[in-house]
Amino acid sequence: MDLSTVTTAADVVFGIGDPPAEILHLDAQSGPSATKHLDVLAYNALLHRQYRVPVRSIVLLLREQAVHPNMTGRVEYATRPERGRMEFRFEVIRLWEIPAEQLLRSSLTTAPLAVLGKLPETLGLTDGLAAVVRQLAERLERESVASPADRLLTAAYVLTGLRLRAPDEVRQLFQGVSIAMRESVTYQAILEEGRQEGRQEGRVEELHRMILRQGRVRFGEADESIRQQIEAIRDIVVLEDLTERLVIVSSWDELMA
């Protein structure tokens, strides 16, 4: 049996003590996985094999969408009676069930996880997150020394994207929270990526309008099927090719062939 394709890249591994008397293995999940529990078993066994000390495995579910029926915190199976049995347990932490206030009071390096924590029932999602971001920024400005505030705020910014789907909403929450964050290379890279995506989306929509307008002049109004085909194309190169083909074809069907 070939095991060469088994990956040994766990998310985070800490050695506790020097030399380590225990190992903490942490795996974060933002989406469901039918086989993650088996990965955790493999990581745990490989770490124990390598370091010969107890290994504590934790799966951190970042949001409710990461829940899967197989994520029960255990792996159990047996072959035949009296012929061997596997029983492995690990911890499962559902981050959205932990109060954000509690996470804000935790270790400074884990405080950014508060944006994924349970918000007060009296506040809506946006207002609740705004309060968490404000308190997190205030704490980081007071206390961050070893862990730069810009990195931790950037981590919180990225994590907030798991709760708010619209990038503009996330940016609005973090506007003005800290000069340090605006100086973060990572944060600036994220913003630039968002700007590039916005420019590309604008170019795609511009090409859609151009093809439909110029095609209407040559072939008449496009029917709904042709319109949907054109608007389904998101590749700028393909759309630019269609604009060039408009001058050499004689119908919508020929254009889309």
112-126, 136-150, 215-229 — which one is most confidently predicted on average?
A: 112-126
- Once rounded to an integer, what is the mean pLDDT over residues 222-236? 87
Residue 56: strand pairing partners: 24
* Secondary structure element (H or E) that encloses residue 76, with its range: strand 74-78
Burial of 90 (0-12, 13-18, 19+ CB in 10 A): buried
Q: What is the pLDDT of residues 196-206, one digit of tens each?
A: 666 777 788 88
Q: What value, to the nearest 5°, has the Cα angle with vertex 152 and ends 141 and 55?
A: 130
How far apart are alpha carbons 256 and 210 in whole angstroms? 15
Report whether pLDDT(183) > 80.
no
Could you give the dihedral angle defined by the CA atoms of residues 31, 36, 37 and 38, in that order, rounded to the nearest 10 degrees? 170
Which of 67-81, 116-130, 241-255 is predicted with the least confidence, judged by mean pLDDT? 241-255
Residue 103 has pLDDT above 60, yes or no: yes
Query: Please, which residues have CB within 8 angstroms of residue 170's CB and are 6 or more apart in sequence?
Result: 157, 160, 161, 164
- Sheet with 12-16: strands ordered across: 12-16, 22-29, 55-61, 91-94
CA 17, CA 32: separation in Å to the nearest integer?
A: 33
- Mean pLDDT score, 179-195: 57
Between CA 26 and CA 35 the distance in angstroms is 16
CA 9 – CA 40 distance, rounded (Å): 11
Provide the mean pLDDT of the chain: 83
Contact 139, 104 (CB under 8 A): yes
Task: Give the model's pLDDT for residue 253.
Answer: 86
Distance CA 233, CA 230 (A): 6
- pLDDT tens digits along 125-148: 999 999 998 898 888 878 865 557
Report whether pLDDT(231) > 90: no
For residue 141, what pLDDT is reported? 77
Residue holding tokens 């933002």? Answer: 30
Q: Is the pLDDT of residue 184 over 60?
A: no
Cα–Cα dist 168/194, whole Å: 9
23-37, 111-125, 234-248: range with lowest mean pLDDT? 234-248
Decide: residue 95, CB within 10 A, 0-12 exposed, 13-18 middle, 19+ buried.
Answer: buried
Task: State phi, psi for 29 to the nearest 5 degrees.
Answer: -130, 125
Range of lowest pLDDT (56-65, 187-196, 217-226): 187-196
**Partners of 153 in beta bridges:** none
Q: What is the pLDDT of residue 76?
A: 93
Q: What is the pTM of this model?
A: 0.66
